[in-house]
């Protein structure tokens, strides 16, 4: 699957693109089914919310489950990523971020490169985050918010927040976020299950808590150029994978044949 020039231009201008109907309901179904056992299985890569047992993020899913392993090599994710970031990419991180109904907590305003650089020693902000909505994502169940064009300003000052939530994160100061929002506004990424979303390492984003009765799960695959691989190995493998082998595309029907 190749992105059009209009989509590539939108990515350059806004820092993200939404891909409606990237995956069908039939392709999403086995992913949703497998999540149940992955969440129920005690594992250090399952990180709970700060104030309860609900899963906040489940990581290293391609190492723990064959259907998620297939998704990391799906051509509808890999080929657009190669158009943007280059032909030789490795799997940096694989997870599902969850906002359970009523209890799913926020993700602070941040950009991924702040963590990748400070914690993992990734030299340049060339990694891409490729999302697949596993549930319908609406304005009510904790969608991602983006500050469009914020990637064009370069790395913003960030500090390490280890207390606000159960997942330590390098976050952007509210004053800087407010300044950027005054200039560019906020856009939320919503859509039915199967929607795709691509954004870069400098894109400032966050998400509110989920006060609705509807769960919100989003698959996240971060691909990084092999020549931009991490140089620090302080975090565990499930947070930044150490296999720098280039990803190879599978067949387009790899989820349906599972």
Residue carrying structure tokens 């990694």: 127
Fold of 5-228: Jelly Rolls (2.60.120)
* Domain boundary assignment for the chain: 5-228
pLDDT band at 77 (very low <50, low <70, confident <90, very high): very high
* Tokens 């941040």 -> residue: 110
Res 120: pLDDT: 97
pTM score, whole prediction: 0.96
Strand partners, 97: 57, 218
pLDDT in tens, 141-198: 999 999 999 999 999 999 999 999 999 999 999 999 999 999 999 999 999 999 999 9
Q: What is the pLDDT of residues 91-122, one digit of tens each?
A: 999 999 999 999 999 999 999 999 999 999 99
**206 band by pLDDT with thresholds 50, 70 and 90:** very high
Residues 72 and 241: beta-carbon distance below 8 Å: no
Tell me, what's the pLDDT at 205? 98
Per-residue pLDDT, 12: 97
- Residue 34's alpha-carbon distances to 8, 31, 39, 101, in angstroms, are 33, 5, 9, 19
């Amino acid at each position: 699957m190749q992105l059009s020039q209009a989509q590539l231009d939108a990515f350059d201008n806004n820092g993200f693109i939404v891909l409606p109907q990237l995956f069908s309901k039939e392709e999403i179904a086995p992913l949703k089914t497998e999540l149940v056992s992955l969440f129920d299985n005690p594992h250090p890569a399952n990180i709970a919310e700060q104030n309860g047992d609900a899963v906040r993020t489940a990581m290293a899913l391609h190492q723990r489950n064959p259907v998620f392993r297939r998704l990391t090599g799906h051509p509808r994710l890999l080929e657009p990523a190669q158009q943007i970031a280059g032909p030789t990419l490795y799997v940096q991180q694989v997870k599902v971020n969850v906002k359970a109904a009523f209890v799913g907590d926020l993700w602070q305003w941040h950009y991924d490169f702040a963590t990748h650089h400070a914690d993992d020693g990734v030299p340049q902000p060339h990694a891409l985050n490729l999302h697949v909505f596993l549930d319908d994502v609406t304005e009510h169940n904790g969608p991602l918010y983006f500050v469009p064009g914020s990637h064009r300003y370069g790395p913003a000052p960030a500090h390490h927040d280890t207390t606000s939530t159960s997942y330590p994160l390098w976050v952007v100061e509210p004053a800087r976020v407010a300044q950027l929002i005054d200039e560019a506004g906020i856009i939320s990424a919503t859509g039915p299950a199967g929607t795709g979303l691509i954004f870069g390492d400098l894109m400032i984003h966050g998400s509110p808590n989920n006060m609705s009765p509807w769960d919100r799960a989003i698959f996240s695959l971060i691909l990084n150029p092999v020549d931009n691989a991490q140089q620090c190995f302080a975090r565990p493998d499930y947070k930044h994978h150490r296999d720098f082998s280039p990803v190879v595309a599978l067949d387009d029907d790899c989820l349906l044949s599972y």
